[in-house]
Amino acid sequence: MRRGLVALSLFALMVLAGCLSPTTAGWGVGDGEVKVEFTTDSASATSSLGDEKETFDELLPVGCNAETDSKALDKGGEPITFTGYMAASHFYTSHDELYGASDLDLAVTASVAIKSMSMKDAAIVDGEQIPRVQVKNWILPLYPNTGAGNVDLDEIDTDSDSRWFVLGLIPTSENILYGMQALGEWHQPVQIEGYLVDTNSTSSAGYFSNWHEVNENCEMGIGQNNIESVYLMVTSIKFQDSVVTSSGDSSDEWVLGDVPYLGRGGFITFFLIFGIGGAVVMFMFSKIAVSKGAAHSMEILVGKKAMAAVSRVKTDMKRAKAEGMTTSKQRNAEARKDASTEAKKEGKKPTKRDTADSVDLVGFDMDSALQSGSSEPTTSEFGSKGSSVVATSEAQSIASQSSSNSRKAAPQKSTTIASSANVSAPATRSSVTSNTEPAPSKRSHFSSAVSGSSTHREEPKKKVVKKRATKKAQQPKAEPWQGKNEESSNTFEEEEEEDFSDFSM
């Protein structure tokens, strides 16, 4: 429903502003244009509305002879008047010669069908009295093809109750051409003045005097057929409250887009104030309504206390800004600006690194954290320059100490292993010795090399006894192997205890 009302309102505005005025031919000698040179003595017309450009010379305007009492038709004279109620009109931007348009048809820019009556009677026509004409096509300016309606112009004859004019209108000036757009509004009283056209320069207008007549007021009369179809060179058009003249200088001149009561300027002012101004006001009201709805939804979600806290924060921020407080970002920008200014004064261009280091950390924000220089000591990287592994100075010192300790423990460890191998060699096979001796070296830790070196030197002296070795030599071969395993296992246990008991570096 609302959309329909809006569309109807827009349509009414367009009609009032004249936005739906008919399209007419242009004034000139170019494509789709007509130009007429007119005087009461002679006239000529140039038209480009047909297939080719046509020029009509030696046209004779025929008007009302004001010198005689009979007011007969004659060359020149006063313009002839056609008065009545306009029921239909048609405008031409081109003519189709294929369907019969020819001669002066090509110079016609508009055609009208007028029911003959006085302006006073035409002003009071309403209801069922309004003549309604349905135009099927109007290819030939003087012969419209009409159909359903309370009036069919094709059927007008001597038996008809109404009298009609069908006029092919030829403008005599540019203002008349564009003023004809007022005829686009059907069903209104109208009075058209102009001159009939005679194309035979040798004629004395006898043709017009025999077929047409005027009364004492130079108003065109209608013959027995109740319809008159003529070409008319228009000099003026009168409506109830406006007029169209050749010069366009009349005080009540019709203007495209003119609105009754308000006028053209009044309507534009009305549109600017109530149209654009109303749109701005509605936008402001809609924005306020949206803001209130958002605030209400937020109050429901977070509660009144949270909303009050947010409002206090906003108030504090505004007060701080009014007092001249600046944010950390602003202070950083000012510091960078001052640093660049000082560098320019000194005559050297500051590098990006110097500028970043010169900025003090004011407030905590991400920009300050990224701009501040690193306080860590110089670090070294392992691998290539793109490596992400970084060794600190502490890690390097620990690594150097461990490497020095491992170099000191390496000879002692090898001595211990060699001595144990020499003592146990007579009781075991060489293959068994080679298989059992490497195990302690794998399980030993570099940190126990220093503390366990003295124990390894004393153990072979205590456990190597010649008597026990001879007895075990007389026993089966499995027993020396078992004894060797026990000795090695004891040695492993002692080494492990020493490894995990001494954590000194």
Q: Is residue 357 part of a domain?
A: no
Evaluate whether 165 touches 231 at the Cβ level (below 8 Å): no
Rounded average pLDDT over 354-362: 45
Query: DSSP of 434-498, one letter per residue?
Result: HHHTHHHHHH--GGGTTTTHHHHHHHHHHH--HHHHHHHHHS-THHHHHHHHHHHHHHHHHHHHH
Evaluate whether 408 touches 450 at the Cβ level (below 8 Å): yes
- Beta 33-38 vs 26-27: how paired, if at all? parallel
Is the model's pLDDT at 69 over the cut of 70? no
Q: Is residue 344 part of a domain?
A: no
Nearest to 213 by CA among 372, 40, 62: 62
Q: Is residue 387 part of a domain?
A: no
Q: Is residue 135 part of a domain?
A: yes
Q: Is residue 442 part of a domain?
A: yes
Q: For residue 396, what pLDDT is reported?
A: 73
Write out the residue range of the structural domain in which residue 483 sits. 412-501
Is the model's pLDDT at 312 over the cut of 90? no
Rounded average pLDDT over 153-173: 92
Rounded average pLDDT over 36-42: 93
Give the largest Cα separation in the chain, rounded.
180
Is the model's pLDDT at 295 over the cut of 90? no
Rounded Cα distance, 377 and 384, in Å: 20
The radius of gyration of the chain from alpha carbons, rounded to an integer in Å, stands at 58
Q: For residue 372, what pLDDT is reported?
A: 52
Q: For residue 414, what pLDDT is reported?
A: 43
Total domains in the chain come to: 2
Q: Is residue 309 part of a domain?
A: no
More confident residue, 384 or 7: 7
Nearest to 56 by CA among 78, 38, 69: 38
Last residue of a domain, one of 236, 258, 280: 258
Give the mean pLDDT of the chain.
74
Q: Is residue 99 part of a domain?
A: yes
Q: For residue 267, what pLDDT is reported?
A: 72
Evaluate whether 428 touches 480 at the Cβ level (below 8 Å): yes
Q: For residue 201, what pLDDT is reported?
A: 46
Last residue of a domain, one of 258, 286, 316: 258
Is the model's pLDDT at 91 over the cut of 50? yes
Last residue of a domain, one of 224, 241, 258: 258
Is the model's pLDDT at 187 over the cut of 90? yes
Nearest to 61 by CA among 46, 83, 77: 77
**By percentage, how much of the chain surpasses pLDDT 90?**
30
Per-residue exposure over 377-413, b if at least 16 CB sit within 10 Å of its own CB, e if not: eeeeeeeeeeeeeeeeeeeeeeeeeeeeeeeebeebb
Q: Is residue 430 part of a domain?
A: yes
- Which residues, including other chains, have CB under 8 Å from residue 239's CB and lie 6 or more apart? 182, 188, 189, 190, 254
pLDDT band at 252 (very low <50, low <70, confident <90, very high): confident
Of 24-28, 81-85, 448-452, 488-492, least confident by mean pLDDT is: 448-452
